[in-house]
Amino acid sequence: MELFSVFIQYKSYFLIGIQYTLLLAAIGVLCGFVLGLVVALVRMSPWAWLRFIGHAWVEFLRGTPMLVQLLIIHYGLSTSFDINFSPVQSGAITLSLNSSAYLAEIFRAGIQGVDRGQGEAARSLGMTKGMSMRFIIIPQAIKSVLPAIGNEFVTIIKESSIVSFIGVTELMFQSGRVSGLTYDGMTPYLIVAIIYFILTFTLSRILGVFERRLKASDHR
């Protein structure tokens, strides 16, 4: 089978691509998780100017193409402010920033979904508002939105393909190299499509099992 033979012959290219794709996706979601939680809290701040900053952050990053954000970070900052990042760093920063905007809204929905009585009960026990948020509300909110966080991970795996535009040797970049070596414009991209499907399908199944275990623990 041609697909299998091409994959075996150029497996080192595809394996390197998988490593970079998973690395960028993991960095994007982990950094986006932390930054998104901060932005969510900023959006819920009692100060209007902070809420405006959080709102502008989310709307700008969700309202502009990720490719444009990538080019601004990698080329725009370099030419205008002499701030230089490697292709991998630019890709990781872009994925983290973009992911933070979506995760911020996920976290905000989760926090607002926690019963207000939880915070009131915590404060009646002597906790400050910050302590009740940290120890009571945020842990419950994160647990309730874990499936959505997992879905964002799946999305970032697919969207990481845009970093091939700046030379990061992830799956799409490597498939282009293999296509150039084999003069085949179909087979390498079909292989990459299958790899993406395997990665996202496997992760979705793992997340499904994890979600069912969380639900089972809630019923105990």
CATH topology of domain 2-218: MetI-like fold (1.10.3720)
Task: Specify the residue for token string 């990665």.
Answer: 199
Please calculate the CA angle 92-27-58 and round it to the nearest 5 degrees: 70
Q: What is the pLDDT of residue 217?
A: 63
Counting residues of the chain whose pLDDT is more than 90, the rounded percentage is 67
Q: How far apart are CA 184 and CA 180, in angstroms?
A: 7
pTM over 0.85: yes
Ranges of each domain in the chain: 2-218
Which one, of 5, 8, 2, 17, lies nearest residue 192 by Cα? 17
Q: How far apart are CA 16 and CA 219, in angstroms?
A: 43
Instruction: Write the DSSP string, 17-67.
Output: HHHHHHHHHHHHHHHHHHHHHHHHHHHT-SSHHHHHHHHHHHHHHHHS-HH
Please calculate the CA angle 195-93-203 and round it to the nearest 5 degrees: 30
Mean pLDDT for 121-126 is: 77
Mean pLDDT for 24-45 is: 94
For 38, residues 6+ apart whose C-beta sits below 8 A from its C-beta are: none
pLDDT digits (tens, 9 = 90+) for 29-38: 999 999 999 9
Q: What is the pLDDT of residue 136?
A: 85
Helix/strand/coil percentages in the chain, nearest 5: 85, 0, 15
Q: What is the pLDDT of residue 1?
A: 63
pLDDT digits (tens, 9 = 90+) for 69-107: 999 999 999 999 999 999 999 999 999 999 999 999 999
